[in-house]
Structure 1
Amino acid sequence: MDTPDVAANADISVLVVDDHPMWRDAVARDLEARGFVVAGTADSVAAAGRIAGAVQPRVVLMDMSLPDGDGAAGTALVLAAAPKAQVLILSASDERDDVVEAVKAGACGYLVKSASADELVAAVHATAAGQPVFTPGLAGLVLGEFRRMAAAPEPTPAAALTPRETEVLRLVAKGLSAKQIATRLHLSHRTVENHVQATLRKLQLGNRVELARYALENGLD
């Protein structure tokens, strides 16, 4: 990836999502120094969704490990709040499952944190243009996974849910509130809400009533 001129970055707004303040602030400073507009920073999935809705960033740099959920959940929440945003995962993890889940949730790229400042700048610029960006080696992994999925029998929509999302869905079908589900699963109320929102997005449903009906119709009660 070629590093673009600073002037080419002036109309690109970026939201930086990471729960490590020193890293988050350093990335924000580096981007501002290269001409990007840092529209905001966030330290959690919930904050990312809220701020993305308010500032409508062009690019979201999303960490994969956050205190109230993972980068896949964060990606889904951000895209629900800011549909025109492009999400680039910037994570210390290069685990296959993390990469695939992030892309399934709507991320258009995945960069590991060992990338240089120039690589990050080029990646953000490419992401803003809608181009997929992956750390070398990860693009082949994603392509291989999606080829495998295309060759597999057509799954039911529920097959796309994570085990935790399925667990939350079953409890929604039983009529439990988010607070009750959080208590039962030893999660925060916000984390449960994030799982519900991600499940609604994946199943293309509008609300909890439709979610409960879906669960009942598919034997997930």
Structure 2
Amino acid sequence: MTDPDRSGAISVMVVDDHPIWRDGVARDLAENGFDVRATAPDAAAAVRIAKAVLPDVVLMDLNLGGSSGVDATREITAVLPSARVLVLSASGEQSDVLEAVKAGAAGYLIKSASAAELVDAVRRTAAGDPVFTAGLAGLVLGEYRRMADAPAGVEPPPQLTERETEVLRLVAKGLTARQIAEKLVLSHRTVENHVQSTLRKLQLHNRVELARYAIEHGLDGE
């Protein structure tokens, strides 16, 4: 997997069944310095090609003609756990958003987003941030709150330090690493170190899973 911090170029694959849209997105990303390694028109091709080109970020449409972007997301995140899937869909329906996130998507962007918003979303997704079109993050967090088995107020597990727990609470609120750094008056690298340490201790893979964990353990409140 390409390390964007070392290479300076985040590798991307674009999956969409509309060739004009697919090629246009790929062109916009390439012009903004991304390493567009491949495109794919359907779920089967997306999974096969992703295994070959190893993208950092997969931009995934949900409606791929006769195939499902949700299925492709589930398969890609299963075989390539370090790849992050950012859904780019025309649908903002709650059921579609939740289904995609449950399949492993790291974020969800509506196709009406501007080119600048798309570029920023891909960069943030590659950095490990959960990225959602305005309004959708609350929807996702609200659903996981309703699904949570643990009551609010459950104490954090003893293996997390006070600072790690503090960072975890802010991750659950949807803050980026830079926003957390500003709020806690820490360096961006220090926050990233706390996040990575927490991921290792809890045996989780990304910030989306951290947010779910925090909600399920009552750590997303004030």
TM-score range with shorter-chain normalisation? 0.5 to 0.7
Aligned runs of 1:127-206 on 2, under 5 Å?
127-151=125-149
3-state DSSP of counterpart to 2:134: coil
- Indicate the residue corresponding to 1:166 in structure 2: none
CA RMSD, 1 decimal: 2.0
Query: How big is the shift at 1:11?
Result: 2.1
3-state DSSP of counterpart to 1:54: helix
- Indicate the residue corresponding to 1:36 in structure 2: 34
Give runs of ≥4 in structure 1 deviating > 6 Å: none
For each residue in 1:157-213, what CA deviation from the matched residue of structure 2 results, as whole angstroms up to 9, or x when unmatched? xxxxxxxxxxxxxxxxxxxxxxxxxxxxxxxxxxxxxxxxxxxxxxxxxxxxxxxxx
- Indicate the residue corresponding to 2:68 in structure 1: 70
Q: Does the C-alpha gap of structure 1 residues 58 and 39 become closer, same or farther in structure 2, counting only changes over 3 Å?
A: same
Q: Does 1:105 align with 2:78?
A: no
- Indicate the residue corresponding to 1:83 in structure 2: 81
Q: Separation in 1 of the partners of 2:23 and 2:69?
A: 18
For each residue in 1:5-29, what CA deviation from the matched residue of structure 2 results, as whole angstroms up to 9, or x when unmatched? xx99942000000000000000000
TM-score (norm 2): 0.63
Q: Does the C-alpha gap of structure 1 residues 146 and 139 become closer, same or farther in structure 2, counting only changes over 3 Å?
A: same
Match of 2:115 among 114, 117, 124: 117
Match of 1:27 among 11, 25, 28: 25
For each residue in 1:81-140, what CA deviation from the matched residue of structure 2 results, as whole angstroms up to 9, or x when unmatched? 322100000000000010001000100100000000000000000000010000000000
For each residue in 1:21-40, what CA deviation from the matched residue of structure 2 results, as whole angstroms up to 9, or x when unmatched? 00000000000000000010
- Indicate the residue corresponding to 1:208 in structure 2: none
- Percent of residue pairs identical: 64
For structure 1, the residue ranges without an aligned partner over 5 or more in a row are: 1-6, 153-221
Aligned positions, number: 147
3-state DSSP of counterpart to 1:131: coil
The structure with more radius of gyration: 1
3-state DSSP of counterpart to 1:114: coil
8 Å Cα contact 1:9-1:36 kept in structure 2: no
- Indicate the residue corresponding to 1:162 in structure 2: none
3-state DSSP of counterpart to 2:44: helix
- Tell which deviates more after alignment, 83-92 or 62-71: 62-71
TM-score (norm 1): 0.63
3-state DSSP of counterpart to 1:94: coil
Q: Separation in 2 of the partners of 1:25 and 1:16?
A: 8
Query: How big is the shift at 1:79?
Result: 1.6
